[in-house]
Structure 1
Amino acid sequence: MKERTSFIRPMVAGDVERSADIWLRASKIAHGFLGYELLEDQHQLMKDVYLLQAENWVIVSDDQVVGFVGFIDNFIGGLFVDPDFQGQGYGLKLLQHAHDLKKHLELQVYERNQKAVKLYQRYGFEIIQRDETDDDGLPFAQLTMVLNS
Structure 2
Amino acid sequence: MIREYQPADLDKIMEIWLQANQQAHNFINPEFFKQNYELVKMLIPMSTLYVQDLNGVKGFIGLTENYISGLFVDHKFHHKGSGKALIEKAKQRHNELFVHVYRKNTDAINFYLSQNFNIVSESINEETNEDEVLMCCHVERKVKIGLCAL
TM-score, normalization: structure 1? 0.90
2:78 to 83, 86, 91: 86
2:49 to 47, 56, 73: 56
Where do 4+ consecutive residues of structure 1 move more than 4 Å? none
Aligned residue in 2 for 1:39:
33
Residue 46 of structure 1 and its aligned partner are, at CA, apart by: 1.8
Residue 79 of structure 1 and its aligned partner are, at CA, apart by: 0.3
TM-score, normalization: structure 2? 0.89
Q: Secondary structure at the match of 2:27?
A: helix
Residue 31 of structure 1 and its aligned partner are, at CA, apart by: 1.1
Inter-CA distance 64–53: structure 2 relative to 1 (3 Å threshold): same
Stretches of structure 2 lacking an aligned partner (at least 5 in a row): 140-150
Q: Please say if 1:27 is aligned against 2:5.
A: no
Q: Please say if 1:14 is aligned against 2:8.
A: yes
Matches within 5 A, 1:91-102: 91-102=83-94
Aligned residues: CA RMSD: 1.0
Q: C-alpha separation between the residues in 2 aligned to 1:109 and 1:21?
A: 20
Residue 11 of structure 1 and its aligned partner are, at CA, apart by: 0.6
More helix by share: 1
Residue type of the alignment partner of 2:60: F
Identity across matched positions, percent: 28
Which structure has the bigger radius of gyration? Answer: 2
Aligned residue in 2 for 1:69:
61
Stretches of structure 1 lacking an aligned partner (at least 5 in a row): 1-6
Aligned residue in 1 for 2:144:
none
Q: Secondary structure at the match of 1:34?
A: coil
Residue type of the alignment partner of 1:134: N
Q: Secondary structure at the match of 1:24?
A: helix
Q: C-alpha separation between the residues in 2 aligned to 1:143 and 1:122?
A: 16
1:134 to 125, 143, 150: 125
1:146 to 129, 136, 141: 136
Aligned residue in 2 for 1:103:
95
Q: C-alpha separation between the residues in 1 aligned to 2:8 and 2:59?
A: 14
